[in-house]
Amino acid sequence: MSTLMLDAKAYQLSLQQGLLRCAHPEKGTRLLPWSGLSQIVVAKGVSLESDVLLKAAECGVEVLLIGSRIKQLACVYPLKAPSSDFRLHQYAITNDVSVKQKLATLLMLGRMQGQKKTLIKLGLSPSAAWCEQAAQLTLTDNLMLTEARMTASYWHQLAVLLSPFGFNHRQRQPPCDPVNALVSLTCTLEDPLYAKALLGQGFDIGLGIHHSTGYYRHSLLLDIKELTRSELEYWVAGLFLSGQITASHFHHTEQGCRLTAAGQQVFYPLWFSFCRQHKKRVHKWAIKAKRVLLQQELSDVA
């Protein structure tokens, strides 16, 4: 199974005798069987018919649309959520304050373990300030603030390695340097992986445990992503430290630091290669999250 990536303008996607017709005025036309595809990635300026989306859903093929800005990202994937009453269990848990607090603490402990592993793999010892905040996670009355302080210390240590690439602190929007740009981009690109995995397990991804429900966001998705966030950060750091990605692959725009067209051609193949294994880990975490919620429902809510 492979990914079809169309990053040039003027491509047209349509159906022809059940096959995917990929046409370009200069590069010609190809007919592709659906059986060999797992994902289609289209950039700004590519047109496609609605029949293509419907056929992709029928064949279990994801369609990812990427614009010129980080927020211009959309994913169309088959909805195959199981028909069960699992969401009733989820609703009961999100209405129980004590259970939510317990689960939120487990999430932050997972985030803490991920940060510790990343620091060690990069040859850094967790600082005293980081250890102090990490030790408070099970004791604090303000979990969000404690996690924020712990994470700020974590990024302060990573800056020691990543300062040659212009990085000195974490800034989400707008990203001010190449490292921040890729950390934010990969975090956004990971969303469709989690959305598909969590919906497939029957979750309502709008109901948060640690992140507040609302604000027009998928709060549960943000929660479970905490468990693999450090994996992405380690991977991004490795791209720069290995020289696979350099500052020359970026430029500054009104929206902050962004990949150039040449940078995108280097980065996205690396990302899709990484995703082949990462999506398996995401799927396992979705299954584990469901198992943990069911256990809480049986022991604490029922």
Q: What is the pLDDT along the chain (302 residues), one digit of tens a residue?
A: 577 878 778 889 999 988 999 988 888 898 989 888 877 888 788 888 889 888 888 888 878 787 755 456 677 766 655 556 788 888 888 888 888 889 899 999 999 999 999 999 999 999 999 999 999 999 988 998 999 999 999 999 999 999 999 888 898 788 888 999 999 999 988 888 888 888 878 888 888 888 877 666 788 888 999 999 999 999 999 999 999 999 999 988 887 888 998 999 999 999 989 998 998 999 999 999 988 888 875 444 44
115: number of Cβ within 10 Å: 25
Reported as type and span, the H/E element at residue 267 is helix 261-296
Joined together, the tokens standing for residue 226 give: 């905490």
CA distance 186 to 188: 5
The CATH superfamily label for domain 84-295 reads: CRISPR-associated endonuclease Cas1, C-terminal domain (1.20.120.920)
- The DSSP symbol for 164 reads G
Joined together, the tokens standing for residue 38 give: 């797992």
CA distance 4 to 249: 23
Q: pTM for this one?
A: 0.75
- Class of the CATH domain delimited by 2-76: alpha beta
Joined together, the tokens standing for residue 18 give: 């059940």
So where are the chain's domains?
A: 2-76, 84-295
225: number of Cβ within 10 Å: 21
